[in-house]
Structure 1
């Protein structure tokens, strides 16, 4: 169970939950709720991972043995050593929790456990060799262990892709009953539905009486009261009960609810009310036995930013050198296709509100900006942006450039100059920034990016609210690892052409 003691202000959607009126005997769990059976997909998925783990170990050790210079004989210590590695590897993965259902498809947490198993295997081999005074092959241990770790990670990535596709179709999911006040329940259920690959499916809700009609209309699921959680979870065959963020006054409710669910096999989760804050910023801190959720402040300075700036300039400079022939060819195509300059220059707002000139290959006619007012009726954006699926101002070459995002390559010069970063929020126009509220203005705390969460999540198909949410998530949870992940996913997003128009 995840513990949460985050506080919220009065009148928020995550206000205190009332204590249930029905008394519960704390000494014994509510046995009338039947145990939820384990989902078959989790067992099959774990078995498939075991097969991939053993295959990775066999391939890695076999390749090292075949490539070795020493001949394999009946008395050679290489064969039993290789066999021991094959046997030990799946067991270590089990020990590090790489086969726990809650990490399936999560990505970084699952990969971290595989890496931990690799380090443990190296340490175990060194310990056994020293303690038993064995002459283990250094080449076998030092080459096979990293190789099988990499192969296992590759297998996990492939399995995760398959699992996400299955979850997108509604398979391999957990049935979730959401509990709390109406506003917080709708927000949490919306977030769960938006992140479909997370494998959670809301099947019901339990809310206060005044919010039942609202939740039923918004979510189209069965709705019950706060006293009906255990019985409703059993009736809906729920795997998980998710309680929305609550203040200290609801501690008694959570304690009694945990007693009711004890022995049923139903997982109890507590949403911290900080959906956009995640990763290394959230920690459970015990104070005199009381678990508190610690939320670290986002860091916008320090060595990480220096490394990010150095990587940005190095990658941008290298990319400009390597892509020079392509850039020249694109410039020639733009010049021959329509009259006007090759590069389109536009004032944008960067970090801390500083303005800069952003460069792009021109993909529209020269007077495109002056035609916006005449085309306003065709605007499909629900926010501050102007978007059209079929924009008559786009040139023939420009439409092709936009589909492959090649029109944005000159922004590498902005990255090299320091006004932009490889990864960051979308660079806004001054007229957009003039209409920002205090929360949206947090997008300006970091440099805008050539790519970002918005780029890999749908680009122009995103609503204004969704684009802002993704930018703020990046600002709140920035890390070098997140940047690397976004860059890797950008190539897939560009090739898929999703949201490019």
Structure 2
């Protein structure tokens, strides 16, 4: 009844691709060594020791690179992560090769310049070859080749989203070919895909058409259906993948992690990976260092203006919460006259606030009062981009009435943020204003990328120098 036009070469092709990839990597390692010698140590001649070193590394590559998963199927997975795994794997190979030379007391005889240049050239060559292969495969898959056929089990919005994701990602190498409707509500075809109502008909069709993948787009509560599918295909060479619907449970992206050897789904945890946090921390320190050096004359001028126009210290400090709720002292240029604050009460600045000095009003409108916070970034207490920290008294006030408020502190607070560049800054005299700000902060957490941070920084420079809500 339902027929699939198959355009895959099967599992044998996948095994052949893995073997060819190993051979290609070994050849690239050898060619990179030769190119490094030609470019950086010409005329020195390739010594027997260096030749043995190259051969040793080729052998180590065959043994060690598979441990980094670089020869596994990366169909539908991040090519950037593959590149990182490949680079780390190659560094491990080089370390093992050098360790062997050290044990044989021959390490001092190898040219350091050649070794370093070889390492860099080989890393670039290995990564470039993978990207070239993926570009060819993407072209093939868009043309209908090298595809894995997927039958989706489920119903409703979650199943529809999984099917739509497959169809919108042709480069991943999957093609949705049918669905099994677990609700049995007489639903017709979805996006032109045949939809089975009886599980027996579905299972027979999967076997007859030799479908490689069955994806279970089901709710966490549908354990019985999961077990039924597992039992039915327990003696078949079919890849069964469970994509649980946890939208109503998870605060952020549903990342599956390895937790002490067991798979776990993050329902409510930091949405950023350790690699992303390191990337963000490195950028923060570099950006803050450059900003403090470049803005030093401006900051000194502001400090003098604050000091000579009103009594009190140049800097204003206040206790705020950082990542994971850790308390720190935030720095700002003082923009108000000294006054006695009631314990436990923080009065936000309002339009025409008599506490704000003339210089302070200018600093607040132009956000120049925030410049000392680059010191907080340099100390590791804040980020350049992130949710803006509020006074601790406001945290206590809003965390119980604003949905998701406390999750703003899953990462370090920022000097600027997604909410601020979208106009949500200044006084929050109504709960609705704070709710809108928090929604923007949570959007940032769910959709973080280095590119988004750059967009926010540029938008802050363009739009942040003057804002009508800051007073």
TM-score category of the 2 structures, normalised to the smaller one? 0.5 to 0.7
Structure 2: tracts of 5 or more residues without a match: 1-7, 294-364, 367-413, 425-431, 458-471
Task: Name the residue aligned to 1:63.
Answer: 35
Task: Name the residue aligned to 2:136.
Answer: 162
The structural deviation recorded for 1:429 is: 8.0
CA gap of 1:243–1:169, structure 2 versus 1, over 3 A, is same
- Return the structure number with greater relative CO, CA threshold 8 A, min gap 6: 1
Write out aligned runs for 1:41-440 (5 A).
Answer: 42-43=14-15, 45-46=17-18, 49-50=21-22, 52-66=24-38, 67-68=40-41, 71-72=44-45, 76-103=48-75, 106-135=78-107, 137=110, 139=112, 140-214=114-188, 216-247=189-220, 249-273=221-245, 278=253, 281-285=255-259, 292-298=264-270
Cα RMSD after superposing both structures:
4.7
CA gap of 1:105–1:485, structure 2 versus 1, over 3 A, is farther
- Do the aligned partners of 1:193 and 1:201 also contact (CA within 8 Å) in 2? yes
**TM-score, with length taken from structure 2:** 0.54
- Tell me the secondary structure at the aligned position of residue 115 of structure 1: helix
- Do the aligned partners of 1:192 and 1:201 also contact (CA within 8 Å) in 2? yes
- Do the aligned partners of 1:186 and 1:219 also contact (CA within 8 Å) in 2? no
**TM-score, with length taken from structure 1:** 0.51
> Does the alignment pair 1:444 with 2:440?
yes
> Does the alignment pair 1:476 with 2:449?
no
The structural deviation recorded for 1:197 is: 2.1
- Do the aligned partners of 2:177 and 2:193 also contact (CA within 8 Å) in 1? no
The answer to which of 300-309 and 88-97 deviates more is: 300-309
- Tell me the secondary structure at the aligned position of residue 99 of structure 1: coil
- Do the aligned partners of 1:122 and 1:145 also contact (CA within 8 Å) in 2? yes
The structural deviation recorded for 1:130 is: 3.5
CA gap of 1:70–1:45, structure 2 versus 1, over 3 A, is same
CA distance in 1, matches of 2:287, 2:142: 34
- Do the aligned partners of 1:245 and 1:270 also contact (CA within 8 Å) in 2? yes
Count of residue correspondences: 320
- Do the aligned partners of 1:212 and 1:223 also contact (CA within 8 Å) in 2? no
The structural deviation recorded for 1:98 is: 1.0
- Tell me the secondary structure at the aligned position of residue 176 of structure 1: strand
- Do the aligned partners of 2:9 and 2:146 also contact (CA within 8 Å) in 1? no
The structural deviation recorded for 1:51 is: 5.3
Q: Which structure's CA Rg is the greater one? A: 2
> What CA deviation, in whole Å up to 9, does each residue of 1:298-349 have, x standing for no partner?
469999767656667889999xxxxxxxxxxxxxxxxxxxxxxxxxxxxxxx
The structural deviation recorded for 1:101 is: 1.8
